[in-house]
A and B are shown apart, each in its own frame.
Chain A
């Protein structure tokens, strides 16, 4: 197998444990002063890349992480490097001018061409817009094989075997490089970056780029008309015992 040049796209999102609040203007979610961190699925992508290198399941030449966003996106890139990525690329995109998945896929295609990547590992979705599109979109633009929602990645000869989570269970597919893989939660358990590795990560190369450096424009196709809070759900109170539970369920017509 040719040695792997892995590209891992990562996204800085509102931390998964924070309950997001819709802003007053109903244009989006309040982000100022809210804790952000790396999209949880992207941590899995980095972990898997580092494990491929550590287990020597295939020769790894390079693990490059990339994030598009405001300067604060560099924080998640440093975290990724502390976890074991070799270098980072930060594509500067102003706050409020976020790319849509198609835009990200086009950007990543340009980076793949430039960096001669042969394996791209992405999270299956980001927990902010919940689109679950970028991975397959990138594979479509590149004309590469794809395996989404991976729970296991194995190398066998010159093929990659990926076990995917599907609706009724799991499915295994096999493809040759180059390919795009998206990660699902059960793929691995991401490591914590140790303090020495956090210090070392500060010295790893981090290149800054703009969209125009990559020949990509931020062309938005969706207009956000409004963002609202979901209809609140009121708890109906508690009952004393099992009989109370049954009669309440009968009263509600649920049984």
Chain B
């Protein structure tokens, strides 16, 4: 009886006109429904917390309400204890089981689902990474929720901003789902820092569902340079580099002279000049460093989608009419094979 009455109350509350600010409104449907609480799902690899995944915590804190974080994998204690130091996180839900090491969505989705149900969360957040993109829609569909992907801003607990059409339009959408599944763009929400927090670490529920897929192998590009997605400076090469040898000969010293990560356009990746994982653009990584230097890149809209939020954009291209110059804060028209080595030398000596 009680639950029926409660449902009716919630329903009638939902029919009330929406106030402009949900936070200020005493009629906020979710406030009546249950208190705002967010679960931020963190990534780990080989027992190391992926600090980039802490952007989910930043987004969770912006939502308001309580913030819990979720980690799973083999010997998860060290990761959980590190995550517990993040300011603003009340609790870490940790599941210690090697079956979740590789983040296979077939068993990770039911795992997450059980922990969401147990915690009664209103919002679940993860980075818009390969892991988040593969896992979250699966869980969202299992809980009959329409996910909101790759958000760049939070207007209130129901309303989110996300780029569409390769960033050529910005949509503000309001969700009516009870549980909101959100993936966040890392460049729009800086990773929360490991601070002096002391969240409680609690063992989560483990439904131990067998995965219907098996992890076989991986081949990760090794690099001593800063990580592309989070580097403060990025130098990126395009088709103008002509070959892999030239790409390495021209771009790598430039990157080292600036302490920058190396990126590439799709044309450069497709031509085999650079590894797939370095691709910047709509179909590759989205970056927003302090400095983005585009070398031999014309600036197709798919590429701009991945870098146009950079603070300063510099371009070196021999075609003075290349579209990249329309967005570059500083452009240099010239042959990159002359200009880049000269630039590298002058940066080194300065």
Contacts and interface: CB of A to CB of B under 8 A. Distances in A.
B177 interface: yes
A32 to B, nearest CB: 16
A74 interface: no
A253 B142 CA distance: 48
Contacts of A170: 218-220, 276
Contacts of A199: none
A22 interface: yes
A249 B213 contact: no
Interface stretch (A58-66, A89-97, A173-181, A202-210): A173-181
Given A16-B302, A167-B130, A172 B216 contact: yes
Contacts of B229: 167
B147 interface: yes
A174 B146 contact: no
Nearest to B173: A222
Interface in B69-115: 102, 104-106, 109
B330 A236 contact: yes
Given A149-B130, A173-B214, A238 B346 contact: no
B330 A248 contact: yes
Chain A, interface size: which category?
Answer: 35 or more
A217 interface: no
22 contacts: A127-B282, A130-B165, A130-B166, A132-B150, A133-B140, A133-B147, A137-B138, A140-B139, A146-B138, A169-B220, A172-B217, A172-B218, A176-B212, A225-B159, A230-B168, A230-B308, A236-B330, A242-B339, A246-B346, A249-B291, A253-B312, A255-B291
Contacts of A185: 266, 270, 283
Nearest to A142: B141
A138 B330 contact: no
A138 B142 CA distance: 9
Nearest to A222: B173
Given A146-B106, A170-B219, A174-B213, A139 B138 contact: yes
Most central of B105, B174, B258, B302 by chain A CB within 10 Å: B105
A249 B169 contact: no
Contacts of A144: 212
A249 B216 contact: no
A128 B104 contact: no
B163 interface: yes
Given A230-B170, A242-B342, A127 B218 contact: no
Most central of B141, B150, B176, B282 by chain A CB within 10 Å: B141
B135 A136 contact: yes
Contacts of A114: none
Contacts of A241: 332, 334
A193 interface: no
A239 interface: yes
A164 B130 contact: yes
Given A105-B141, A130-B282, A171 B218 contact: yes
B173 A223 contact: yes
A18 B273 CA distance: 27
Nearest to A252: B312
B331 A239 contact: yes
A120 to B, nearest CB: 14
A233 to B, nearest CB: 5
Interface in B283-337: 283, 285, 290-291, 301-302, 308, 311-314, 316, 320, 325-334
Q: Which 9 residue pairs spanning A and B have beta carbons closest together? A: A221-B146, A140-B138, A137-B141, A236-B329, A133-B137, A175-B213, A169-B220, A136-B137, A254-B312
Nearest to B302: A16
Interface in A217-245: 220-230, 233, 235-239, 241-245
Interface in B156-176: 159, 162-176
A243 to B, nearest CB: 7
A168 B220 contact: yes
Contacts of B170: 227-230
B187 interface: no
Nearest to A131: B149
B164 A130 contact: yes
A102 B347 contact: no
Contact of B105 (A146, A224, A225, A243): A146
Nearest to B292: A254
Interface in B204-222: 212-221
Contacts of A239: 330-332
A241 B339 CA distance: 8
Given A239-B332, A255-B233, 11 more contacts: A14-B165, A20-B165, A129-B164, A165-B130, A169-B275, A170-B219, A176-B212, A185-B266, A185-B270, A242-B346, A244-B332
